[in-house]
Amino acid sequence: MTGAGRHGADADAWGIQRDWVDADDRPQRVGEDTVARLREIIGRPPDHLEVRAPIVARPGDDLGLGRVRVVCEDGTQREVDGHLSVDFPLGYHRIGDGGSGRRLIVSPGRCWLPDRRLWGWAVQLYGARSSASWGIGDLADLRSLRTWTEQEGGGFLLVNPLHAVAPTVPQEASPYLPATRRFRNPIYLRVEEVPGFAADDVDAVEVRRLADAALVDRDPIWRVKRRALRAAFRRSELETGGSRDFREWRATQGEELQEFAVWCVLAELHGPDWHGWPRELQRPATSAVREVAEAQAAEVAFHAWLQWQVDVQLRDATGDLTVIQDLPIGVSGGGADSWAWQDVLAQGVSVGAPPDALNSLGQDWGAPPLVPWRLRAAEYEPFIQSVRRTIAGAGGLRIDHVMGLFRLWWIPDGATATEGAYVRYPSGDLLDIVALESHRAGAVVVGEDLGTVEPGVPEALAERGVLSYKVLWFEEDDPADWPVAALATVTTHDLPTVAGLWTGSDAEDQLASTDMSKDDVAGDRRELLEKLVRDGLPPDATATEAVEAAYRQLVRAPSLLISFSLEDAVHEERRVNVPGTVDRENWRIPLAVPVDLLDAAPDVQRLVRLASRS
């Protein structure tokens, strides 16, 4: 049994870690004011928590309960006398007669892993536009990428988070601050492929203008798509009495889908942040919310139908290829998940990171954290649903800031990122839940373990079969010496592309969009260039030669997954995102080559040949 429900010895009864070591190995101590504020926000766990919280175990473990009856999730019952049998079924069970007692989660303890080394592409789907998409890469474009990758011998795709944001304008641009981690963004639908679509529902000139735009402009794209999708829904569902397939799918999604669809309707009526709604609508289980759901039943059905269409198109797009979905560290404070789980999420605080090599001032990501003891009291259900629904239909999971399963940097409202504190989580339980969901879905799991990583985390991830995340720009060792249990890549969405680094345009962008000094920018660039040229790349090399040099290093890695960036393949010089900036084209940059022309692009084909030889 993991036994990870209790806080570590370095945390107090609230889970707050008073003393910690920063990225420069300097000891730090949290101020009294911060501790007092966080204790008030967290609240003291109830005395009965330890006898009511779920037990997370593995076959063969001692439950420490003596003789008990377990009602398994398939309805069968088993007597357990101390230890679980070595063949005890994995899954979510109940201890006690009638299945109404304490939850028992039985995990294999290790994630599913592919049986051979694979290479694949990392891509920001919104930027992977084609000649047929409406100004934003969509699920049909993902299907094209999948087919092309399979034809070239690739084994996976790694995409940005596809989770839903509020169905209002302005649209949230960052994929890492969604309204929910359980449902997906219908802006990615290929509208022509939904039932009921008619060409007359859209203005072809407007669509062409969006497709030709220099950047991905989500607001007008969503307006055009929403208008066409509403017309298609009316034609295919409302005017026909509704399809049996939709009714059956909707029924399988349970109350969670209904609640999300109702939230979407309320967001359209009252705005995207539920804190500003009329008080009687600020909790899901009120008579006022039920009245709105009944009065707006068609609108609720529309938003549920959108999720059905996304599910259908995503499964068609991914096929049999592993498509690694990204799980953000949290959700927006006014969004659907925070509305549904407001008693589990902390109010008056957000998560981020202390100062480190990525950001000297620390980072505030704007998402409210789950309160550890409340998460346990909720039987881990918010976490389970987020993991399960993100994996669904894709076959892979990348956990953003995987260190957050161990501890998260909490920043009280009004404080700077330097004034936060670490709050610890039941990491053993959470990792075993990830392993169970990975096992059931046959999904590989990658943990983004960049930044400040405390001792013991790499070992805990390796024990569970969670792949590490190795980035050329951060690693001092030659890629040939990197671990097998890893996803290896050159860069990430927050770091320079190879072409941007080599030409110096990334440094110019940094100086223009951040408050970093010229010396700091120059120093950072110098460090990365040293890694790029260590095989002898000459100073007068072209960007093409620089990209090839970087990836020739990468393919030396013995790592299980080798990830090629499509931005690097097309020689994009701009970073996808510059952390801490807002007046920039973050999360809006399209690929320079449409996805339906990638197979004819010489620069892209050079990397394909390199990948195929790896």
Encode pLDDT of 407-449 as tens digits.
Answer: 999 999 999 988 999 999 999 999 999 999 999 999 999 999 9
The predicted structure's pLDDT at residue 452: 82
Q: What is each CA distance from 340 to 169, 214, 256, 572, in whole angstroms?
A: 22, 37, 9, 40
SS (H, E, C) 439-472: HHHCCEEEECCCCCCCCCHHHHHHHCCCEEEEEC
Is 355's pLDDT higher than 90? no
Rounded CA-CA distance 546/539 in Å is 10
The predicted structure's pLDDT at residue 361: 79
The predicted structure's pLDDT at residue 5: 43
Angle, helices 297-318/244-252, rounded to nearest 10 degrees: 90
The predicted structure's pLDDT at residue 10: 81
pLDDT band at 530 (very low <50, low <70, confident <90, very high): very high
The predicted structure's pLDDT at residue 25: 85
Q: What is each CA distance from 583 to 216, 497, 531, in whole angstroms?
A: 15, 20, 30
Give me the long-range contacts of 244-250 (CB less than 8 A, separation at least 24).
Answer: 246/305, 246/308, 249/308, 249/311, 250/304, 250/308
> Could you tell me the two tokens for 553?
């290093």
Is 359's pLDDT higher than 80? no
CA triplet 194, 198, 202: central angle to 5 degrees?
100
pTM > 0.85: yes
pLDDT band at 451 (very low <50, low <70, confident <90, very high): confident
β partners of residue 11: 17
The predicted structure's pLDDT at residue 160: 97
Is 4's pLDDT higher than 50? no
Mean pLDDT over the full length of the chain: 94
The predicted structure's pLDDT at residue 295: 98
pLDDT tens for 163-207 read 999 999 999 999 999 999 999 999 999 999 999 999 999 999 999
The predicted structure's pLDDT at residue 99: 61
pLDDT band at 98 (very low <50, low <70, confident <90, very high): low
Mean pLDDT confidence for 252-259? 96
Mean pLDDT confidence for 2-26? 76
pLDDT band at 86 (very low <50, low <70, confident <90, very high): very high
The predicted structure's pLDDT at residue 358: 62
Rounded CA-CA distance 85/536 in Å is 58
DSSP states of 230-259 as a string?
HHHHIIIIITTT--HHHHHHHHHTHHHHHH
The residue that leads in pLDDT, 353 or 223, is: 223
Rounded CA-CA distance 252/12 in Å is 42
Is 458's pLDDT higher than 80? yes
Is 370's pLDDT higher than 90? yes
Is 59's pLDDT higher than 70? yes
Alpha carbon distance, N-terminus to C-terminus of the chain: 40
Share of residues in the chain with pLDDT > 70 (%)? 98
Of the listed ranges 255-269, 425-439, 477-491, 572-586, the one predicted with least confidence:
572-586
The closest of 42, 47, 48, 46 to 16, measured between CA atoms, is 42
Indicate the SS3 state at residue 322: strand
Is 8's pLDDT higher than 80? no
pLDDT tens for 563-583 read 999 999 999 999 999 988 888
The closest of 345, 410, 334 to 372, measured between CA atoms, is 345
